[in-house]
Structure 1
Amino acid sequence: MRVDDFDFELPPERIALRPASPRDAARMLVADTRGLRDRVVRELPEILRAGDCLVFNDTRVIPARLEGRRGDAAISATLHKREGPRRWRAFIRNARRLRDGDTIAFGGEVQAVAADRAADGSFALDFAGDEPVEILLERAGSMPLPPYIASRRPTDARDARDYQTMFAREAGAVAAPTAALHFTPELMAELDAAGIAHETLTLHVGAGTFLPVKAEDTDDHVMHAEWGRIDAATADRLNAVRRDGGRVIAVGTTSLRLIESAAGADDVIRPFEGDTDIFITPGYRFRGVDGLMTNFHLPRSTLFMLVSALMGLERMQAVYAHAIAGDYRFYSYGDASLLLPA
């Protein structure tokens, strides 16, 4: 399909720069067989059914944005995928000033050597020293806010809290699974009381999720791989939900992509551990999920293509037109949609 088919006009003022407070006070646009309904996230227990299961991504965002110097050149690096105990693949700003073998000095006496430049312009960074890289990043890095927020305001101490979900446990993401930012312990208790289950899996979200689609046709776009894991016990419980008539509802596109990577043509979810570069566009047959809760995504993005595959492109264009006209807040810190196809 043409990438232009997934374009739409979004007024800049619709981009949220801070999350709702409290988190579950965010608005939620429900799209299902009944049409479109304007609700609030905290109303989820009365919208979903007993026996349904919400699936969360328990990845934890690391301070993956680094500012440093190579000689007299300023170098900005955003880590996006671990390649070894001390090696991370990174997108580099001012990459024309960097060569394989150059040493970059970051803050806090943290240094890394650039290596293995890839065709997409990224470098591998080999961090010097014996301290775990996670400790080095805590000393020298900052929270990697999405570019559409970082370009409009500086990252601050509040983002260290705001940009982590309540489920964050497994360190390794450089972007938050933002649909789960809307959940609070109080909401989870109400969901449990309503008979709505939840499970967690791990997908370490990479910075590639923010890369624009430069191809003119979706067939020509190459997805960046991300590492994920679903253990056998979780897979068994998710399969049991569906066998018993419940719905598996992914909270966030990251959870959905991993479930679909683990599901076979027989619609059975199996244990999974490794990289996935699954790219879901209209025409895809969903095998493991029955619905999706997600934020509102960028025009022409792979994530808008994914929700269009789930609900239909024409339907999602109507959903987004309703959201824009209704002053919903967009992107990572914005409001939510609950998408339940027939």
Structure 2
Amino acid sequence: MTRGTRQGEGRARDGFARAVVSGGAGFLGTRLCERLVALGTEVVCLDNFVTARPDSLVELGKDPLFRAVDRDVTTAWEVSGEVDLVVHLASAASPQDYARMPLETMWVGAQGTRLGLELATERGARFLLASTSEVYGDPLQHPQGEDYRGNVSPTGPRSVYDEAKRYAEALATAYRKQRGTDAVIARIFNTYGPGMRADDGRLVPTLVDQALGGRPLTVTGTGTQTRSLCYVDDTVRGLLTLAASDCSEPVNIGNPWECSVDWVARLVRELCGSSSPIEYVPAFADDPRRRCPDISRAVENIGWNPEISLREGMSRTVAWFAGFHRADAHGE
């Protein structure tokens, strides 16, 4: 593939002709596929739609560059023709989803990753693994840099997701070292934005849905635990910048601006114009007390950092969810 020049790594792919994206019907996957198609990349989306919104691919499906295939990526990928980018996003991502699908979550991290790596190796494609900040567990180091090895329980309630991603990282690294696979790992921190399922159990959609519905905003524990929220467009831009680079080390993709969960709840209530009370409920087991990425490697190696403020991104997210609430109120 033709290479050009980019800040940091010095060499970069100018673009991708054909990409395979597992989990491309999910919240993050849909936005990634949209961006690839907008850049002129032909995209094959593999998804079994168990956690995706039913209408997530309606608009994308009208574009001749996009094709969706109903596929369980733990059993087969089976994509013919040339491929120069493979992105493995498939996985239940919310605690609510992976709690009801623990084995499937482990399998997509293990067998799904292996099959994606096999495809990338066979076609000489770049392989991008969507890993997670959860590989750091409830961190004892703050902020979390890529060299931190984490504090993860292998048997706790979050273990199926955490350990599936940690295994997937080890597998991608082994393929790169032994098979020469052009693999790179993105450790994604909490991403939010339009397109999330209101019922997926994650922080932002839960609070926004509650505020717009006039219900109490539920905050776990004391609300002093922190998160670093990255708007979806920034995350997608980070993933594609990393994919286009020659970087081979794991890279944190997230917003280094840290805030408490209680602060997020109050911001959501303000933006929704809601008077709902904040209700404190028992904390989840193994819930990280602090979460904040060190993005020095992303800034220095691929020239990426987030650009959209939390207030701006949350305003866009609230507006999107408000549209659904208005439609429901009118029976549309």
* TM-score, normalized by the shorter chain, greater than 0.5: no
Larger relative contact order (CA 8 Å, sep ≥ 6):
1
Q: Point out the structure with the larger strand share.
A: 1
User: TM-score when scaled to structure 1?
Assistant: 0.26
Q: Point out the structure with the larger helix share.
A: 2
